[in-house]
Amino acid sequence: MIRLIAKRLAAAFATVLAVILLSGVLVHVVPGDPVTAMMAQSVTATPEAMDEMRSRLGLDLPVWMQVGRYALNALSGDLGTTIRGNEPVARLLLERLPNTFMLAVAGLGIALLLGIPLGFVAAVNRGTAADAAVMIVAVLGVSIPGFWLGLVLIQVFSLHLRWLPVAGTDFRNLILPALTLGLTYCALVARMTRSALVEILAEDYIRTARARGLREHQVLIVHALRPALISIVTVVGLVFAYLMGGQVIVENVFSWNGIGRLAVQAMLQRDYPMIQGFIVIFATSVVVVSMSLDILYGFLDPRMRQR
Amino acid sequence: MSAVLETKRKRRGWHVPWNIALGLGLAGIVLAAALLSAWIAPFDPTRMAVGPRLAGPSAKFLFGTDEFGRDLFSRVLTGARLSLGIGFCAVVSGLAVGGLVGLVAAFAGRLAEAVLLRVIDVLYSFPDTLIALALVAFLGPGIVNATIAIAISLVPFYARVAYGLAAAERAKPYIEAARLAGINSGRLVRVHVMPNIGQSLIVMATLGFSSAILSAAGLSFLGLGVQPPSPEWGAILASGRNYITKAPWILIFPGLAICLTVLSFNLIGDSLRDLADPRRKRTS
């Protein structure tokens, strides 16, 4: 078990380091001079100011030294300062991270609450109309863009029915964006639950359980759903990563004060340190969550500890 | 025993591949709209004041008009060409690069395999929309940069698929025979492996198509993809959200267009994948 945790920690650290290096390199992918691109919209773009910016960002050093410096600073928690306002990137992002997590967890909760029962119903009634109906819902779910669903929900619940506010960050404001994410990603969960359950229902021990005369609901819930849930834990990490990716856009639809909204503002203003910082923080969150789930999986399934 | 039961159950199940029929039908409509938009669009999609501002759907303006009095029907039709164009270019280049990376990983020796697989796995754990978003942030907005970014965001997926197919092929005796005959890796892949995995790769390409179109719409919605006044669906939605109460039709029609397009390619991709992989068909 300790070996599993150590291995996962090492892998997570390697991934975060790779992402930090990658986001350090990305600035140099910018066609032309990044300082010119960044200061293009600014009125104070005198040659002196641009030189100063260049040396402040370390852009006059060789590329490998810049990337190395960025990585060392990032590992010690310093992600640089924003171009606009000169504020520390790490602080701005970390301030908003709880909001992002709150929305992501709420969205994931809805996705699991809807997706698991749907997948269960489909797997148990495989090949029937109920199965087909669930699969239609699932394929619709992955085909509807989250930002559009969000706009439709705003139109219906906020503007038409006037049940919920349009934007903000209190509890009532959480409902619509969480519902948007939950409805979009429950399709993915339903599909995964269904295929996990279908595989388990074909196992010999299910036949044995039936042969022993257990009631059908006992067979399905105790013998089939429980192991299926364990294998769902492994994919929850992936669903969470995709949900957080979709959330970047959804936060902008609902003006939700999270890191996704901050990042898109920075992208529109070409505030490179902020964009780099966002990539690092986003990747770290995703990696930490999936690592924790992997370790949790080790606790749930003893077979995993040996690997 | 279980195999016998399996065939019986399969025979009883319905045979009409409704999903592929629906998918092909929808895709046909979208494709026709894209190809014929220049002829069937009643108005110039970027010309302002062809009608009153924010007029509701009517016989003259099927989908209504937007805040500049442009005809929404013409704009949504022309948007099909943009979305399919971006999707097609991104999928073709993403497939070319990703396929190459996957094949190199499978046939260029142990070290290349270990390093490339690790990199592909790390990239694959991040959502493709986010990779596209991050790249566009550095490349700058615009239709070409968005297409490049989306193509790159698809590379990890295609690389993984190509590697999986190639690695399965690698284990087969005819590859060993070819190697013993002294063929080098490059020729081996070109002449022997590609013809065998090409078909499956193309099937998987359709699955990338729908996510490319979703990414393109998302980027344009945020103002980082296709720029207005180009009638890209995401861009139309972004400007339409300011008129959400007065003119909900600006919201509804481009959104439905995205949904139906993505749905059609998802249906086609899923059914093709089931046909190509009998093992999946059994469990799915």
Distance CA B225, CA A230 (A): 40
CB contact under 8 A, A275 and B134: yes
* Residue reference for tokens 């789930």: A293
Percent of chain B with pLDDT over 90: 29
Using the CB atoms, write b or e for A25-45: b if 16+ within 10 Å: ebbeebeeebbeebbeeeeee
A206 touching chain B per CB within 8 A: no
CB contact under 8 A, A19 and B129: no
Q: Which residue of A has its CA nearest to B138?
A: A30
Alpha carbon dihedral A175, A178, A183, A188, in 10-degree steps, equals: -160
Q: Which residue of B has its CA nearest to A283?
A: B126
- Please count the CA atoms within 13 angstroms of the CA of B176 that sit on its side-chain side: 4
Q: What is the pLDDT of residues B138-195, one digit of tens each?
A: 888 899 999 999 999 999 999 999 999 988 888 888 888 888 888 888 888 888 888 8
Nearest Cα of chain B lies from the Cα of A217 at a distance, in angstroms, of 22
Cβ A293 vs Cβ A234: under 8 Å: yes
Query: Which of A28, A139, A274 best tests the B interface by mutation, with the highest count of B CBs <10 A?
Result: A139
CB contact under 8 A, B134 and A159: no
How many contacts, defined by CB atoms under 8 Å, are there between A and B? Answer: 130
Q: What is the pLDDT of residues A229-251, one digit of tens each?
A: 887 887 888 888 888 888 999 99
CB contact under 8 A, A37 and B13: no
Q: What is the pLDDT of residues B74-120, one digit of tens each?
A: 899 899 999 999 999 999 999 999 999 999 998 888 898 888 988 88
Q: Pick B217's closest partner by Cβ from A31, A145, A246.
A: A145
Of the candidates A74, A80, A84, the one whose C-alpha atom is nearest the C-alpha of residue A265 is A84
Distance CA A241, CA A261 (A): 17
Model pTM above 0.90: no
Kindly report the average pLDDT of chain A as a whole number. Answer: 84
- Cβ-based contacts of B138 with chain A (< 8 Å): 26-27, 29-30, 272, 275
Nearest Cα of chain B lies from the Cα of A224 at a distance, in angstroms, of 15
A254 touching chain B per CB within 8 A: no
Q: Pick A142's closest partner by Cβ from B12, B134, B266.
A: B266
* Cross-strand pairs, A259: none
